[in-house]
Structure 1
Amino acid sequence: MHHSAPSSFLFSRYLSSVSGLASKRVYFLLSAFLLLLAPHLRAQEVPPTGKNVYVDPAGVLRWEGSRQEVALFGVNYTTPFAYSYRAHKKVGVKPELAIDQDVYHLARLGVNAFRVHVWDVEITDTLGNLLANEHLRLLDYLIQRLKERRIKIILTPIAYWGNGYPEPDTAMTGFSSIYPKGKAYNTPRAIKAQENYLGQFLNHRNQYTGQLNREDPDIIAYEVCNEPHYRQPEAEVTAFVQRMVQAMRATGYRKPIFYNIAESPAVSNAILSSPVDGFTFQWYPSGLVNGHTLRGNPLPFVDQYPIPYQQDARFRKKPHLVYEFESGDILNPVMYPAMARSFRAAGFQWATQFAYDPMALAYANTEYQTHYLNLAYTPAKAISLLIAGKVFRQVQRSQPLPSYPADTAFTGFRLSYRNGLSELNSPEEFYYTSTTTTAPRKPAALRHVVGTGSSPVATYGGTGAYFLDRVAAGVWRLELMPDANLVRDPFATTSLRQPVTRIDWNTQPLRLTLPGLGSNYTVRGINEGNSFQGVASNGAIGLTPGVYLLTAPGKTTTVYSAQTKLGNIALGEYVAPAPSAQPAQVVHAPQVQIMAGRPVTISATVLGASATDSVHLIAQHFYGQTRRLPMRRATLTTAEAVVPADLLYPGLLRYWVVVQHNGHNTTFPGSFAGSPRDWDYAPKEHWEAPIVTASAPLPLFRASQDQQLVEAGGISGGGWADYVTTASGQLALRLVQAPAAATASPTTANTPIAYLRAYFGDRLAARSVDAASFKEIVIRGRRSAGAGSVQLVLTTKDAVAYVAPLELGPEIQEIRVPISAFKLGAQVLLPRAYPGFLPLMFQAAGPAALPITQAEVLQVLLSPGASQSSQEHPSLDIESISFQ
């Protein structure tokens, strides 16, 4: 139950009626009462209109009037600036249209917070004068659109960034083009330019809203600058921060001012003692720009967010925000809700992901290669953001939470790494990121359903997201997004010339079981250009992407038009990308091994083929038998065939997928006309997999073939990774120990300085029948003189780690480590998280003996040597690692 508190107006009127000491006593008594009441003043689901925020005596950010806690969750978004602005021009999309479309999608995802570091380099001159140009106008336009959707805003006026990434910098006019971060805070001319700019930026009048930036109630706070880089002496930092705050306050601005404290911990004391009102942090738990999708259980990465300043009274008395966060290079849609839970446990009141991909660019994921989030192109991950916002607003601030895996089910939420599932199940809301068997908690009370895949409420054949919102008894609004399917790794090198996700507007089957709707409901298209009308049969109907009104028998929808409001959207609003202009495609990755003498299922994603097209598999034992096998299409976009055991004797399986349309064959890989069985089929492209016996080793890492599939490098500046050839000419991964003088931070014997991390869960699954028979790990490698100790770590799907030592000599040799040598222990959280104060190790409880069938990730950890000169480069070389 919510308790109401006295309004700030009545409170101030009452205080004005008393005087002196009596007034102070009343103030402190009432403040104490409000602090006792605070836990019951839960965050508002919808932020109030026209209300500013304030910091209460306990350091909590609250809304004026209601005094409820602020808890806002959302994204960064960059279309007005830098690469995003230029790329929209390249693809021929007006930035205003892009903003309209993307802000609508943000509203659908429940986003109520927006933050961006303003590219000052594009809207200022070298003296800090504000330039009334296209970038500033588009920021004004974006702010107006966000306000219309009741999305609150925090701006960081100074970015210090160039405007190029991922391209070279271009046409920069501002002070940041001549004063880099390391000099901007202690160079007098740079400081003066920043003071000048902050004053002008806060006094800028938005040409669309007519409001000054400093007075706009929807711009609830400012963060002075983005990720400043400071060093000793602290006095320079103290002086700079004071001058920036003074420049902002001199405009008449009275709302909170925040400052980054995570980026330069060496001078944190200066920030803690500064006159700012709060502190900002970021979180990149899996590092950034790994060059490919990270696989394996990522939930230990986000188990907690311990802040090193929690015991400092200067910190506790001020609110803290997360200006940027992301699960870099991870698509599994479980991370955002887990991060939101950990943020709330740490006491954060604001968190904004970096960065939401504009729809016009998301097909190629070029804006920031290591990030990928868009409702149309990453539907499951986008729904996980929607669920995370609910977590952030519903979990109480600073609420203690158990550690993983006990924290995967809490207050109506559930996370499952194994199922790629984030789920919210409350009486009125049922949201899920993939197919689930969970039943809604109270079906009759349901008002909102959002999902991908199927559930007891909706059985759907497509791959896009869908939204179901109850308009009235027996009347529902359905918003159906087009199919989205990955065709390339979105975290590898990207280009506007290379799509990573394909969009198809298919007619897909949908069966609904919604309270009060019935099984023969009528369906009417309501978005622009959608004239569909139909009646479901036994709850099922085939639909293309769009917005529909669903009506139970006997109900009417004549009172509802496309303009009728439903919350902060209109019933007929719809935004989706056009179909990808691509021919049919088949997406498939072959197994590393196929077991001999056992049938194997070959599965593929088939895109752009109609329901009437036939798909078949051509399977050939190298220079042996060839079979043509029909592929079963469970859905429009999936196909599979079983290769019989008699074709799978030890050797090499080569195969192709052939799509037949109107009597014409197209063969994949390569999309070539004809079939491999034609006498004149010349293309050499094919998929292949070795067929092995049960006694064959299972490769976990092969330096000659797996470079793009693993993570390797240094930790905290202590080392790095390279690939070299050994004396026999074989390629090996080299983990190198940095010279002592080059080490960026102190290390201990227990802290590894370089690592290899290799996911092998898919390889082991292909050998599941005989996986339990593996008895040892075999490593081919060498360790040079001076190199530290080496550990092997195997982690399971449940993130339980098992550790064994590895002893290698100075020459390439084969070492066998029994599976029984692995003992329950801790994994190292790699790639390394940022900021650097976050946990390095994680240990989960599990059985004493390694359950090898559940293993999925290998770590090889190199520790520093006992002694080392500044000239030495001790190393560990690894040619291969396998189960046998």
Structure 2
Amino acid sequence: MYRFIIINLFLAFTAVLQAQELVYTDAAGTIRWKKNKQEVSLFGANYCLPSACDFRAAAYMRGDRKQMIAEDMDHFKRMNWDALRLCFWGDFQNTDRDGNLLENEHLDLLDCLIAEADKRNIYMLLSPIVTYNSQWPEMTYTTNTGFAKYYPKNTLTHDEKAIRVQENYLKQILQHRNPYTGRCLKDEPNILFVEFINEPSQFPDDIPGMVNYINRLYKAVRSTGCKKLTFYNVSQNFGMAPAIRKSKVQGSTHAWYPGALNNGYSLQGNGLLFVDRYEQMMDPELKGKAKIVYEFDSTDNSLGYMYPAMVREFRRGGIQFATMFSYDMLRTAPTNLGWQTQYFNMVYTPSKAVSGMIAAEVMRRIPRGKYFGYYPENNVFGDFRVSYDERLSELNADDMFYYSNTTTTRPKNLQSLAHIAGVGSSPVVNYSGTGIYFLDKQSDTTWLLEVYPDIMELDDPFKMVNPNRMVRKAGCNSRTMRIKLPGLDTVLTVLPGKYKLSAGKLISKEELPAKDLYQEPMKKWEVANRTATEFVSGQPMTFRCEVFGDEHPKEVSLYLMLNPWGCKRIPMMAKDGFYYEAQVDLNWLEKDSYRYHYAVETGDETLLFPAKTDCLPDRWDYYEQDTYAFRLVSPTTPLSLLGEQDSWKRIRYSRTYLSPATTFRSVSCGEELIPAFQLSVADLGKNDTYVTPCDATFSHFIGDKIACRDMSKVSPSFIKVRAYGLNGTDKAICNVVDKDGRGYGAVFQLGQEVSDILIPVSSLVPTKAAMLPQDWPGVNSYWYPASMQTYTIPLDWTIAEFVQVSLRNELYDTSNQKNKGVIVEKIELLF
């Protein structure tokens, strides 16, 4: 009897200890650690393997899901991340119609994930209701059992039965006991926060109704004895700030996707202009409430310079916890199988990984509320630097030196430097590989070096996901590394692995975890052409390509096909990474279009690309096949900025959301069915419901085309637009936008039949330029901020990045603003 009482008292005491929360909010809404009252500042990612498409992706890769969780949480720890959002599709996959919790594999994996994160001191935000169909992108499965199947998203906030179902589910999942930790979720100490529902339908016109809904869910959570800090979404509609202020929740949750979502290809252009400011975080209505970021990412962007700039702005806005969406599992990362528009893995996206590590330090080292000005003044902040030109983010502190791309910056303090993480080379590490590496100081003369595999970029990762399309391949190649640090000056040949180095000598070596994953052989050799499509006669020509295989090729050659027949073979030189390069003087060539091949000698055979045949141009049996192509032109040959060679799917345009209804599409014109681009807008009249100006614009990236000419030596005289107006539209704007967001435009007249319109470059004046694509959730200005300022800087063609065509209400009388449209066949620069 006494033994029974003692056991129960012990369990009760243990439960009290388990239920002790680690954080609290003070009177100002600041989240603080209870142990020392210091401010909380946490950074990491969403991790979605237990549910939805990531759950299925693991099966496509035949992975052991629990092993995958452990592998990926090790990556979180290796990157010094300490935040995790548990985005859980319980409303679709873990309840019945009435919101009763279902015990199944999804829940078991959530429990496992919580336990693995807890082991590594990673702190969590629980979001148990997602509101988006768990069957995306396949949409062919019918495994959804949950209440979301019966209650549409827009009914969840006001339908009484739907609210009771949500209350029931929240109570049950928080009282669910995790078999891996022995604790109920409400008592898991490292779950710091609960966000009731992900991106709910918001009704800012009914603030009392929304307050009632939020407080109902709050009461359900508190009824379980859960004392965790609670949060509700504001960025789905910023008009909800008053409801959050009046509700009982401790804070608001925010998101940011500056490049929109699911563009379907890698975005080009200066992304720093899109992450310059997030003014909505400073809304006075949110004063006294804590703020966290539940999702953000530099979508459709593989480069490593965006994350620190975004977190810099989060800190200005008071954010204390930020998790990007989402972390790609190690085993699915080669195909980017999880989420089309996002792509992040420590091994397979090395530059973004270092950028994410730097962002975590921004969260820790930059004070809340600190303001560093706007672009470009804010490119250097504290110990941090971001650079679009260098595709670089950088942390240069006394103890840490991190860089996401090759840098010439010298470490601030070599004697106190203890941690290095990088991609490429720097003044302290010269490395010919393409993967991420770490150096951690153990003593004055001893360092631990961790080298991850080379990464081959085989395809654009942002196309539609497909389990059979490999976008990145890891390669375990022998590489040279030169390390130059106090007490350690050495040159060594490294393979992926962990090395202990002391006084320039190798002390020990061990293999990386999951090494076998990096050694799957390539099925075939691949070549990625990185050569321009146009060269100017009389100037040096550089041909560049990357050659991917399981080993270094014996030789790579360029075969230039001559006109009308014959060829010239030119050996290519190996560079860092997988690059091969040939600098060629072809002054003897006439101005014309030319074709060429790359030949890769593998040892067993010589393959000719792009067709991948074994038939070389200098052999008697060569036959016609696919080639690469370029034009050799004079400095004054018209330069095409937009034409039939450009896909309309890669052209950005104004979206229709609380703004004029805009359409953009590809059309065929005339009897010859010439491809062209049509921009139409139903009504440019002012409307009180619009959140953007009365404008419709399409914007096309031209930075790669401009780079084909030496614009410092020759300047264009005219922009030639071949176009015509629709429905009597007689005017449009042509705008050239530079990499800093300054616009230089002119109004041009349209006829009702196609014609060539010449716009003198001398007539271009500072003009508002549309910042496209428009971000989600509508944080950014519609116009590039720089284009709205007064500036006298003349257009510098060497940094021109976009050409835009706009239909704008200011062009037309108020009685003539409906059904405006323009069809553009091509745009050229004339010299």
Normalising by the residue count of structure 2, what TM-score does the alignment of the two structures yield? 0.92
Contact 2:328 2:336 in 1 (8 A): yes
Task: Rate the CA distance shift 1:74–1:554 in 2: closer, same or farther, 3 A.
Answer: closer
| Paired AA for residue 287 in structure 1 | A
Find out whether 1:875 has 2:818 as its counterpart: no
Q: Does the Cα contact within 8 Å between 1:703 and 1:733 map onto a contact in 2?
A: no
Contact 1:163 1:170 in 2 (8 A): no
Supply the distance in 1 between the matched residues of 2:746 and 2:740 (Cα, whole angstroms): 19
Structure 1 residue 802, shift from structure 2 partner: 2.6
Single out whichever of 104-113 and 457-466 deviates more from structure 2: 104-113
Paired position in structure 1 for 2:146: 174
Q: Which aligned pairs between 1:198-209 and structure 2 lie closer than 5 A?
A: 198-209=170-181
Aligned to 1:735: 679
Letter in 2 for 1:113: A
Q: Are the equivalent residues in 1 in contact too, given 2:553–2:601 (CA < 8 A)?
A: no
Deviation, 1:705, is: 3.0
Residues 821-875 of structure 1: CA deviation (Å, up to 9, x unaligned): 2233543221001122432223337652111122122222222475789996421
Gaps of 5+ in 1: 1-48, 520-538, 563-570
The residue number in structure 1 matching 2:750 is 808
Which residue does the alignment assign to 1:137? 108
Alignment of 1:247-396 (within 5 A): 247-307=220-280, 310-312=283-285, 315-396=286-367
Cα deviation 1:687-719 (Å, max 9, x = unaligned):
011222222111111145333443234353421
Q: Does 1:784 align with 2:729?
A: no
Residue in 1 aligned with 2:125?
154
Query: In the aligned structure 2, how far is the partner of 1:271 from the partner of 1:92?
Result: 44
Contact 2:562 2:568 in 1 (8 A): no
| 1:879 partner letter | E
Identify if the C-alpha distance between structure 1 residues 742 and 802 changes in structure 2 by more than 3 Å, giving closer, same or farther. Answer: closer
Equivalent residue number for residue 579 of structure 1: 519
Which residue type is aligned with residue 618 of structure 2? R
TM-aligned CA deviation for residue 116 of structure 1? 3.0
- Could you say which residue in structure 2 is the equivalent of 1:848? 793
Q: 1:590: Cα distance to partner?
A: 4.4
- The superposition leaves residues 299-327 of structure 1 with CA deviations (integer Å, 9 ceiling, x where unpaired) of 11111110176222xx1011111110011
For residues 328 and 572 of structure 1, what CA distance do their matches in structure 2 show?
29
Give the AA of the match of 2:545.
Answer: A
Q: Which amino acid aligns with 1:849?
A: P
Distance in 2 (alpha carbons) for counterparts of 1:707 and 1:841: 22
Q: Deviations over 1:128-174 (max 9, x none)?
A: 11111100010111111111111110011111222111110530111
Write out aligned runs for 1:316-715 (5 A): 316-517=287-488, 519=489, 539-552=490-503, 577-582=517-522, 583-608=524-549, 610-611=551-552, 613-635=554-576, 637-646=578-587, 648-662=589-603, 664-682=605-623, 684-715=625-656
C-alpha separation in 1, matches of 2:521 and 2:686:
51
1:764 deviation in Å? 1.4
* Structure 2, unaligned runs of 5 or more: 1-18
Structure 1 residue 374: deviation in Å?
0.9
- Structure-1 residue corresponding to 2:58: 88
Relative to structure 2, which stretch is displaced further, 572-581 or 481-490? Answer: 572-581
Deviation at 1:758, TM superposition (A): 1.5
Q: Equivalent residues in 2 for 1:163-242 (5 A)?
A: 163-168=134-139, 169-231=141-203, 232-242=205-215
Cα separation, partners in 2 of 1:542 and 1:406, compared to 1, 3 Å: same
Measure the CA separation in 1 of the matches of 2:829 and 2:685: 38
Secondary structure of 2:124's counterpart equals strand
| Further displaced range: 241-250 or 606-615 | 606-615
Q: Structure 2: which amino acid aligns with 1:827?
A: A
Residue 720 of structure 1: how far off its partner (Å): 1.9
Residue deviations 1:451-485, cap 9 Å, x none?
Answer: 01000111000000000111223111111111112
SS of the residue 1:827 aligns to: coil
The aligned runs of 1:826-845 (5 Å cut-off) are 826-844=768-786
CA distance in 2, matches of 1:228, 1:880: 43
Asked whether the 8 Å contact 2:21–2:228 carries over to 1, the reply is no
Deviation at 1:226, TM superposition (A): 0.5
Deviates more, 1:275-284 or 1:779-788: 779-788
1:106 correspondence with 2:52? no
Counterpart amino acid of residue 270 in structure 1: A
User: Are the aligned partners of 2:553 and 2:600 in contact in 1 as well (CA < 8 Å)?
Assistant: no
**CA shift for structure 1 position 739:** 4.9
Deviation string 1:538-571 (CA, Å, 9 cap, x unpaired) is x2111111111112169977xxx97xxxxxxxx9
- C-alpha RMSD over aligned residues: 2.5
Distance 1:331 1:743, change over 3 A: farther
8 Å CA contact 1:712–1:755 kept in 2: the answer is yes
Aligned to 1:723: 666
- Label 1:586 to 1:672 Cα distance change in 2 as closer, same or farther (>3 A): same
Please say which of residues 426-435 and 363-372 is displaced more in the overlay: 363-372
Shift of 1:283: 0.5
Whether the aligned pair in 2 keeps the contact of 1:202 and 1:212 (CA below 8 Å) is yes
Between stretches 461-470 and 303-312, larger displacement belongs to 303-312
CA deviation after TM superposition for structure 1 residue 254, in Å: 1.6
Deviates more, 1:573-582 or 1:801-810: 573-582
Partner-residue secondary structure (3-state), 1:243: helix
What one-letter code is carried by the residue in structure 2 that aligns with 1:861?
Answer: S
Asked whether the 8 Å contact 1:510–1:542 carries over to 2, the reply is: yes
Q: Please give the alpha-carbon distance, in whole angstroms, between the structure 2 residues aligned to 1:648 and 1:744.
A: 61
- Aligned in 2, Cα 1:611/1:86: closer, same or farther, shift over 3 Å? closer
Q: Which has the higher mean CA deviation after the structures are superposed, 592-601 or 49-58? A: 49-58
Percent identity, please.
33
Q: Matches of 2:20 and 2:553 in 1, distance apart? A: 56
Would the alpha carbon gap of residues 378 and 63 (structure 1) be closer, same or farther in structure 2, given more than 3 Å must change? Answer: same
Contact 1:365 1:372 in 2 (8 A): yes
Q: Which digits, 9 at most, give the CA deviation of each residue in 1:696-749, with x for residues without a partner?
A: 11111114533344323435342121111222521111111035799894277x
CA deviation digits over 1:664-708, x for unaligned, max 9?
Answer: 211111322231322223461110112222221111111453334
**1:197 positional shift:** 0.4
Task: Please report the TM-score for the alignment, with normalisation by the length of structure 1.
Answer: 0.86
SS in 2 for 1:342: helix
Equivalent pair of 1:610/1:636 in contact (CA under 8 Å): no
| SS state at 1:629 partner | strand
Give the AA of the match of 1:105: H
Deviations 1:773-795 (A, max 9, x none): 21221111122246596333322
**Quick one: structure 1 residues 344 and 788, their matched pair in 2 at CA, closer, same or farther if it must change by over 3 Å?**
farther
Match of 1:759 in 2: 701
Q: Aligned AA for 1:754?
A: A
Asked whether the equivalents of residues 500 and 507 of structure 2 are also in contact (C-alpha less than 8 Å), the reply is no
Number of positions where the alignment pairs a residue of Structure 1 with one of Structure 2: 801
Q: 1:753 to 1:580 in 2, by over 3 A?
A: farther
Are 1:620 and 1:653, in contact at CA under 8 Å, matched by a contact in 2?
yes
Read off the aligned partner of 1:208 and give its amino acid letter. Answer: Y
Shift of 1:494: 2.9
